[in-house]
Structure 1
């Protein structure tokens, strides 16, 4: 099929290579970190909010997850542990899950590996099953002769002892695993949809530009590389959807949902959507239309939030955000690029685009951190608003910001959230978000960019009280 190539104006953007001129640590930070525009949302009458401390003394908390049918919260710590906060607010003294001896050794300065995803089975209350995504040390071999893989990525099922306080470590059942060429761009989010299928967000394999070792060619000759655009070679740069309720007759520990877009067609059967760089967090709206909302860290100009639908292509590395991308020189924006792929699928633009801190037109987000649609009752005026954040405003400053978006149309308006006692930023690196079964939203933070120390905290976003 012939690919349509329309003209796309530059709009005065230039790409700046993420950490290429800096140290390896900086390269790793910036290749996974991105930035944002100033307030692009309209004014509103939402009430000021505050942060209520829920628990602390974590290393690098990435996620707060509620277990269906319970009032307990589970805190995912990147170093390999999951901690339970019971219905009384007590943090249990021993981990609910401890994989710290199994995960790949982590860099204390910055790392995108570790225990990075957690989801509970919809019937957890009765079957005690849950799912994790983590990185192990690499297996032998490498993406090309003479090169080594960086890690082995794995998605597993575990079963808890049904007091909900600890995991039976002997029950691990590996669902998927794949050799990963670089340490960054692992994605990491796991979520069950309203269809009760398990969704898995996987990054493009790492490095920069989707062009390093372990990055295959794709259909677009204008850019080298393209794991995210190649739907037949691997899972990189994709969101997968699998049915874990039954095993395949061929022995696979899951089956493929019959409505998956590439079942009985060219492309890997597990793929639900593709064209992502680093889909670090994703969530389903627990109300409304139950949309799947995915944050995708950009290269050097733009961070993005995508409203993801089955079978669609979200552009990377043909596009970054809403503009064309040049893999050979990411400081240059091509005048034009395809608007659809070789299958005739349109390259979908994000619903939110946020400027990276390196964007020459201005911006101050190292990485976008996806959150949740607020469906609680505590905060007046917040129902149906999408809450998200930024990791920080530069790689070395713990000053992430909180944002609120009004959903609707193809370009969601957003603005910074005013937080009492944190008038300019939160004063931490924002690592992730969470939501309880009542629809209230939580944010996880740390004073350290990497998985080190014990400054990690979990806060609940609550209405501000008058002094």
Structure 2
């Protein structure tokens, strides 16, 4: 009976097996979009969700008007309908599939036409075919007979043929999920820059030029134009002054860059870097520069003016973020001074308001007061105290090492959320956290790490003005948070309002969604699209070590990562984050672009060469057989059907329906027949999968368990066999032998 049930479930699954990777996709391989509700496009069937702008619709309308004059009067009405249908399929949300472009990357001359529709077209309007295509093969087939013509306009997957695609409820549901932000929500990535040595930031100047300034940790900042072209001459080069090393993971270096809100008029910018003082001690320096009077793409190196020097007692926890708020005040985020556990003084630097380390400072760089290169904003929380007891610059404190903070630009329509400062604060041994910065807030370190006590003597009544994180995650998930941005761009509306961040060690990407009713933030991990989703110039992977995130002038987000976190290794890359489900109307998303004068040579963007991996012909597990040794060594044994496979950087996460549970270790999470479980696979390249399981197939699986991650896993040596009925007959014997072996080992242990 179990085998009958299993076969029925496979039959049901197979009904839409060809649509496992189906998704809306335009001919440029980007997702569809919505047109304004009050617009009247020519291809009105695709107004709500399609691939043509109003300008493209007008071009199709003009072509239609030109071609319809050549249609026969005898069947003018029918032929005009056929003509409009064919011309408008470029606007279909499934245009890439209709024109068979998602696999070949070449558009077919005509959309794939279903048999009945093709026959009707051929017999009703034969004169139409030469008008809409000049493809020789199709014209020859058209001149031969109906069967030849209809065969010529078939596509690789006729499940997408027109007009049947319009009646497919499965595809209709997928399109609805894409429009509404449902579904798996995997991400793709578009390479923007490469060959960088630990790129640590990507910022814009807010001057309408849409340039992106990308900094390498060694102390060089490059200018990239909107199309990815790099100016050969660096914007800024202070590598002779910056203190860092080639040691992997060295946290010192060029760490921050911020442009003055009025940069377009005053040419001022600010930098944050590690260097040596006149006495050769290590310090953090915040300085101001100005660009050349005749070239806004180069800094005038003679204009450096030191704003602040802060002694750095150790080489780590250097902070580095700088921001300007809507009032024009300047924020800098300093680390706690380094080492581990903030060991400086009785309570550490972060809880010592007489020290700037471990705090967020807010100053006014447009004014100066006696003895300072800046002024203290009158609204700062400690201006009424003696400065030697509580530093007037401090805006918030109790931070360990905030690595990457950002200001929410607010909803594009309502402005909701504007001005909030989000930060990722790197943890010590157990937790990483995300915070929203509040005036006078105490973020708990070293009393607390995340929501938990770190120093029991400090984590309760000692922490006045305590502000808890909005989110924390344990080191089973990641070990070094990289703060990101609240997405407020135009191109990917389904991401609006989501705080996107990542982890340097695990290479995982996450989003936080705010529940405004409960004031809670809910976390979800992003999966990465496979090569059926991330096509064209889009990729479904990135180098594992996430270093930072960036935001351009249009509010689009970038991910900065490397495969080797050394300042001497040019493996760093910058990727634009892409949501392949839905995009904003292209005609509305890029406005107010100001040209910038470019002096000197440039280098156009060249994508990295495709990586090739030599995968083994057979996985290690394929050389092993199911016997009493391998069966008894396995932590769990099931017969299961793979329902879903999602990638999360170097992890492939399989959703498996347990058809039969044969064995499991006592310390494993609950596994029951009929229940869906998650099984993870890991690979360094992300390309070679051993064992290689296919969605929709049923397997006999001997798996393992990673207790520190609390995950069911498959190793390269794990035994996975396509299910065969004889596996069920092996189980009673193998279970009996395992029990006997266990009793024998138990007896030896206590003999």
| Structure with the largest fraction of helix | 2
Deviation at 1:412, TM superposition (A): 1.4
Aligned residue for 1:360? none
What SS does the aligned partner of 1:229 have? coil
Equivalences for 1:371-450 in 2 at 5 Å? Answer: 371-393=484-506, 400-408=507-515, 411-421=520-530, 426-450=542-566
TM-score by length of 2: 0.49
Identify the match of residue 338 of structure 1 among 452, 455, 460: 460
Identify the match of residue 53 of structure 1 among 166, 184, 191: 191
Cα distance 1:256–1:465, how it changes in 2: closer, same or farther (>3 A)?
same
After superposition, the C-alpha distances for 1:76-126 in whole angstroms (9 at most, x for unaligned) are 111101111113321111210001000114133221110001111001111
Instruction: Assess if the C-alpha contact under 8 Å between 2:396 and 2:439 holds in 1.
Output: yes
Deviation at 1:316, TM superposition (A): 0.2
Instruction: Assess if the C-alpha contact under 8 Å between 1:46 and 1:382 holds in 2.
Output: no
- Rg larger in structure: 2
Equivalences for 1:134-213 in 2 at 5 Å? Answer: 134-140=273-279, 149=281, 151-162=282-293, 163-211=295-343
Equivalences for 1:60-99 in 2 at 5 Å? Answer: 60-69=198-207, 70-99=209-238
Identify the match of residue 127 of structure 1 among 262, 266, 277: 266
Q: Distance in 2 between matches of 1:307 and 1:297?
A: 14
Identify the match of residue 374 of structure 2 among 254, 271, 289: 254
Q: Distance in 2 between matches of 1:430 and 1:139?
A: 34
Aligned residue for 1:354? 473
Aligned residue for 1:284? 407
Aligned residue for 2:383? 263
Deviation at 1:137, TM superposition (A): 2.5
Equivalences for 1:33-48 in 2 at 5 Å? Answer: 44-45=182-183, 47-48=185-186
Aligned residue for 1:6? none
Q: Distance in 2 between matches of 1:427 and 1:71?
A: 25
Q: Which runs of 5+ in 2 are unaligned?
A: 1-180, 411-415, 532-538, 583-751
Instruction: Assess if the C-alpha contact under 8 Å between 1:159 and 1:167 holds in 2.
Output: yes
Which one scores higher on RCO, CA 8 angstroms, separation ≥ 6? 1
What SS does the aligned partner of 2:206 have? coil
Q: Distance in 2 between matches of 1:335 and 1:262?
A: 25
Deviation at 1:428, TM superposition (A): 2.1
Query: Which piece of structure 1 moves more, 114-123 or 345-354?
Result: 345-354
What SS does the aligned partner of 1:433 have? strand
Instruction: Assess if the C-alpha contact under 8 Å between 2:324 and 2:330 holds in 1.
Output: yes
Aligned residue for 2:398? 275
After superposition, the C-alpha distances for 1:23-66 in whole angstroms (9 at most, x for unaligned) are xxxxxxxxxxxxxxxxxxxx954743310111111100011101
Q: Distance in 1 between matches of 2:540 and 2:490?
A: 26
Aligned residue for 1:461? 577
What SS does the aligned partner of 1:125 have? helix
What SS does the aligned partner of 2:549 have? strand
Cα distance 1:421–1:108, how it changes in 2: closer, same or farther (>3 A)?
farther
What SS does the aligned partner of 1:57 have? strand
Instruction: Assess if the C-alpha contact under 8 Å between 1:202 and 1:235 holds in 2.
Output: yes
Aligned residue for 2:685? none
What SS does the aligned partner of 2:350 have? helix
Q: Distance in 2 between matches of 1:260 and 1:91?
A: 40
Cα distance 1:379–1:48, how it changes in 2: closer, same or farther (>3 A)?
farther
Aligned residue for 1:369? 482
Q: Distance in 1 between matches of 2:519 and 2:401?
A: 21
Q: Distance in 1 between matches of 2:577 and 2:338?
A: 33
Deviation at 1:436, TM superposition (A): 1.1
Identify the match of residue 311 of structure 1 among 430, 440, 451: 440
Query: Which piece of structure 1 moves more, 87-96 or 421-430?
Result: 421-430
Q: Which runs of 5+ in 1 are unaligned?
A: 1-42, 142-148, 219-225, 327-333, 357-362, 394-399
Deviation at 1:465, TM superposition (A): 7.7
Q: Distance in 1 between matches of 2:520 and 2:444?
A: 16
Aligned residue for 2:358? 237
